[in-house]
C-alpha cells in the first residue's frame, strides 16, 4: 500500500455478528500488529481509530511531560 503524506487506505472491512473485524494484512504488517497485541480504540463524532497500546502510552507520556506510567 502506497502512503500519501503518511496516510494509508487499507480497504474496507466488514463487521461480523459479534462486532469483530479483521485488520487487513497490509495494515498489520505496516504497524507490526501481531496476535496478542493490545490495541487502544479511540473515537470522536466522525469515527474510530486504533493504535497499539505501547504507542498510545508513549504519546500519553510525552503529552504529560514524562509523568504518565
Under the banding of pLDDT at 50, 70 and 90, the label for residue 1 is low
For the segment 7-22, the average pLDDT, to the nearest whole number, is 95
Task: Give domain limits for the chain.
Answer: 1-35, 38-69
What is d(CA 2, CA 8) in angstroms, rounded to the nearest whole number?
A: 7
Cα torsion at 36, 15, 60, 56 (round to 10°)? 30
**pLDDT score for 65:** 86
Report how far residue 44's alpha carbon sits from residue 28's, in angstroms, rounded to the nearest whole number. Answer: 23
- Report the alpha-carbon distance of residue 16 to residue 21 in Å, rounded: 6
pLDDT at position 23: 97
Contact assessment for residue 40 and residue 54, using Cβ atoms and an 8 Å cutoff: no
Q: What is the DSSP letter of 31?
A: T
Which pTM does this prediction carry? 0.77
Average pLDDT estimate for 34-52: 96
> Residue 40's pLDDT is what?
97
Amino acid at each position: 500500500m502506497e502512503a500519501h503524506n503518511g496516510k494509508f487506505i487499507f480497504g474496507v472491512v466488514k463487521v461480523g455478528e459479534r462486532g469483530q473485524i479483521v485488520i487487513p494484512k497490509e495494515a498489520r504488517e505496516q504497524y507490526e500488529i501481531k496476535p496478542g497485541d493490545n490495541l487502544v480504540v479511540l473515537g470522536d463524532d466522525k469515527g474510530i481509530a486504533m493504535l497499539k497500546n505501547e504507542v498510545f502510552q508513549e504519546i500519553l507520556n510525552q503529552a504529560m511531560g514524562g509523568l504518565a506510567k
